[in-house]
Amino acid sequence: MASPHATALTHALVAAGRGYSVIPLTRAKLPAVRSPHHTDPSAPPCHGACGRPGHGIHDATPDPLAVRRLFAAAPWATAYGIACGVAPHHLIGIDLDTKHGADGLTALQLLAGEHHFTLPPTVTVHTPSGGRHLYFSGPPAPPAPPVPNSAGRLAPGIDIRGTGGYLVGPGSLTSRGRYHLIPGTPRTPAPAPPALLPLLYRLSPTPHQPKPAPAPPPHPAPALLRFVRTSPDGQRNARLFWAACRAYESGLGQEMATALTTAALDTGLTEREARATIASAARR
């Protein structure tokens, strides 16, 4: 029986053969190849210009040899990510959630009725939590605006993966379970309904609109630290990454980095693991 790493690599190569750009992921759904700059936190942001792997979504590639090299650099990878917003598909991922009382599929159907569009059959992946990933192809950006990433902003239970984001690919094994391609779905993503695209573009300010003033941090620092310290086994990295992302979104990332690291140490993570996870959140 193939190992989870070998299975993920096989599926990643299949996806690459269909034109998708992929990267290896950990069980926590994070980029698996460590940043080559992790020992120098003061280094300026690098998106791969140094020529070494370890730059998250910027490593994504459809080249089979490069995919094998990335997986060889991360033998612990049991999953892979499919980059959104890049040629040839310019993928737009719609993540329909069913957790915490949300019903993303119903919310999307209501949006379709309200804005008079239908959802064509497309690549559909069943997630371990009972949700679905819908794959759509979008227009190239530019000339079209980039589709931003968002969580719950389009409607409760609907997350959008656009430019700079990625979807966990089918065949991946994560701490929550395995992702499966739903049988009978098309092999390539259908074009996104034209009436849906304006709804996605408006999820971030356009170049002609002033950005709104920063909102107060929605997650107070003590709550984020408590969220990390109470992590159950198997969720320590995932919770730390989520909390660090919320801290950086709120403008508190740098000043909370030390406190988040200390909280992660309380859960049993090593300082090296905690700093690597927080650095990944900063890059996201």
pLDDT of 51 > 90? The answer is no
Nearest to 139 by CA among 89, 180, 75, 206: 89
Q: What is the mean pLDDT of residues 257-263?
A: 88
What is the per-residue pLDDT for 269? 87
The confidence score (pLDDT) of residue 116 equals 92
- Return the closest-CA partner of residue 228 out of 262, 188, 270, 180: 262
Query: Average of pLDDT values for 81-105?
Result: 89
Condensed to tens digits (0 to 9), the pLDDT of residues 141-168 reads: 888 999 999 988 888 889 999 999 999 9
pLDDT tens sequence across 120-132: 999 999 999 899 9
Q: Indicate the average pLDDT of the chain.
A: 87
Between vectors from CA 96 to CA 91 and to CA 101, what angle results, nearest 5°?
Answer: 160
As a whole number of angstroms, the longest Cα–Cα distance in the chain is 55
pLDDT of amino acid 90: 96
Express each pLDDT in 265-277 by its tens digit.
Answer: 988 888 888 888 8
Percent of the chain with pLDDT over 70: 92
Does residue 79 contact residue 127 with C-beta atoms inside 8 Å? no
Please give the pLDDT value at position 125: 98
Hey, which bits of 27-99 come out as E strands?
79-83, 91-96
Residues facing residue 83 across a β-bridge: 166
pLDDT at residue 44 is higher than 80: no
Rounded percentage of the chain residues whose pLDDT exceeds 90: 52
Counting Cβ atoms within 10 Å, is residue 98 exposed (0-12), middle (13-18) or buried (19+)?
middle
CA dist 67 and 58 (Å) reads 13
Short-list 204, 279, 206, 194, CA closest to 245? 279
Question: What pLDDT, on a 0 to 100 scale, did the predictor assign at position 211?
Answer: 46
pLDDT score of 209: 47
Asked if residue 282 has pLDDT above 90, the reply is no
Query: Could you report the per-residue pLDDT of 186-234, keeping only the tens digit for each?
Result: 999 999 999 999 999 988 654 544 444 444 444 457 778 888 888 877 7
- Report how far apart, in Å, the C-alpha atoms of 122 and of each of 128, 132, 184 are: 19, 12, 10
Given this model, what pLDDT does residue 220 score? 59
Q: Is the separation of the CB atoms in 230 and 266 below 8 Å?
A: no
Whole-prediction pTM value?
0.71
